[in-house]
Amino acid sequence: MINKTSSDLIKSFEGCSLKAYKCPAGIWTIGYGTTAAAGVGVIPHEGMKITQAQADHYFNITIEKFSTEVAMLLTRATTQNEFGAFVSLAYNIGLGAFKKSSALRYFNAGDHAKAADAILMWNKAGGKVLAGLTRRRMAERDLFLTESLVVDTHVENRFTVAAPDALRESPAESSTMQAGTIQIVSAAGAGISAVSALSGTAQIVAMAFCGVVVLAALWIMRERLRKWAEGDR
C-alpha cells in the first residue's frame, strides 16, 4: 500500500469530480481520475454522477490494483516514497506505458538518479508539453528522491479494500427502495383495514390517505431508480 504522502499527491493532481467529464485526451473520467480502462467496475459516461463515498472507493481499489501491478514489476527493494512515486506515475500514464518506461528500466538496473530523471519525460499529451503534467512529474520526482523507509512491496500490497455501504449491485439492495416497498405494503394493509372497519366519509378519507402514501412511495422509488441509472448507488 502506498503511504499517505503518495496518496495525497495523486489526489491533489487528479482532483475529484462527482460528475463524469472528458479529460484532455477525450476519455470519460469520474472521481479521482477514474476511467473505464482502470478496470475497477465503473464505466464513466455522459451524465453519470457518483457520491463521494463511491469516488473514495474507486480510488482505493484502483490504488490497490496499481500498487500490486507496480510491485510485481520491481526487481529491487524500494522505499515507500519511490514506490509511491511510481504508483502515481502509473496511475496517470497507465500500467502499459509504465511497464515500458525508462524510469522502471533504470530503477531495476540500480540507477536511481536516472530513474528519477526519467519520470520527467512523461509530461506530454497529444504530443504537446502540458504545464499540469510537468508540475506533476516534478512532484513525483521530488517524492521519489525523498528519503523514507525501505518496504517489501510484494507483502505491503496484499490487502483488500471493502466496498462502502453506498455501493450496491442492484436497486433492490437500496434502503430507499426497501423502505418504499414497506410503505406500500403498510398502506395497502391499512386500506384493507379501513374498508373492513370503517364506513361512509371516514372510509373514503382513510382510503384517500392510503392512496397518497402509496403514490408518494412510488414517486420516491421512481426517483431512486432514475438516480441508480445515472450511477448514484
| Residues 227, 228, 230, 233, CA torsion sign | positive
**Integer-rounded Cα radius of gyration of the chain:** 26
Residues in a beta bridge with 128 = 125
Element (H, E) at 78: strand 78-79
- 14, 64, 82, 140: the catalytic one is 14
Q: Which three cell numbers stand for residue 219?
A: 414517486
Q: Which three cell numbers stand for residue 164?
A: 462502502
Residues 6 or more apart in contact with residue 215 via CB below 8 angstroms: none
Side chain identity, residue 56 = D
Q: Tell me how crowded residue 110 is: count the other CB atoms within 10 A of its CB.
A: 10
Q: Is 14 a catalytic residue?
A: yes
Q: What residues act catalytically?
A: 14
